[in-house]
Amino acid sequence: MARIYGVYCPVAHALEVVGDRWSLLIIRDLLRQPQRFTDLLRYSSNITAKWLTLRLRKLEEAGIVEREKRLDRREVWYKLTPAGYDLRPVVEALWAWGLRYAMKPPLPGEVVRPEMAMGTLTASLNKRGRKLSQPATWLFQFTPGGPYSLSFDSDHWSAKEGKKQDPDVSVTASPESWATFLAVKRTERNRLVKTMQIAGAPERVKEFLYTLGVRDEMAE
């Protein structure tokens, strides 16, 4: 492979392999689970089928991605190799840096996927060590996007697509409004929370809002 940067350095050499536009986002999606070509095309939104094909081919040649075709599946699935999974700390470090320094409300036309928004919220709560006084389940009904449940088990937060019975708090919002709510300063969240439908026992709603940085009086 031709050297792009002309510098004998591990960082430069790594970027020559995974530093192309879209490559790390493809790796991000494959870190969750194997994906079909159409799945990867949908998650990355603005990438074309041609560019996705080129990026996958390059990642395959580098030994980062491989194809998986099972007898019970008609489509080809893509998955990470051990070398690809070793990039998890890199992606997680970029996520943490982006959350702290680069997050802004979504721009007009920018796609907000509920699964990404829920994944970011879950990881943030766990990373920041946010805990509740008791186990809880929060149901998010995204319009459009469907339901997602976020649960706290007294120690750890986890999110799952779909509904859980008898949630403690229910929230109805668009993916864009929810992403905006999380991205703005906490002083602005007091205003934005009024645009959502939030239901539940008053003390559980108050706990929900407090955990997300909304002043206590907003729950009263």
pTM for this one? 0.81
Lookup: tokens for 109: 């036309």
Helix (H, G, I), strand (E, B) or coil at 121: helix
* pLDDT tens-digit profile, the chain (220 residues): 557 888 989 999 999 999 999 999 999 999 999 999 999 998 887 899 999 999 999 999 999 999 987 777 678 899 999 999 999 999 999 998 998 899 899 998 888 989 888 988 998 899 889 999 999 999 999 998 899 999 999 999 999 999 988 999 999 999 999 999 989 888 888 888 988 999 999 999 999 999 998 875 444 4
Tell whether domain 10-92 is in CATH 1.10.10.10. Answer: yes
What's the CA gap between 193 and 104, in Å, rounded?
17
The answer to whether 105 and 183 are in contact (CB under 8 A) is yes
The CATH 1.10.10.10 portion of the chain extends over 10-92
What's the CA gap between 85 and 66, in Å, rounded?
12
Say which CATH class 117-219 falls into: alpha beta
The answer to whether 171 and 196 are in contact (CB under 8 A) is yes
The CATH 3.30.1050.10 portion of the chain extends over 117-219
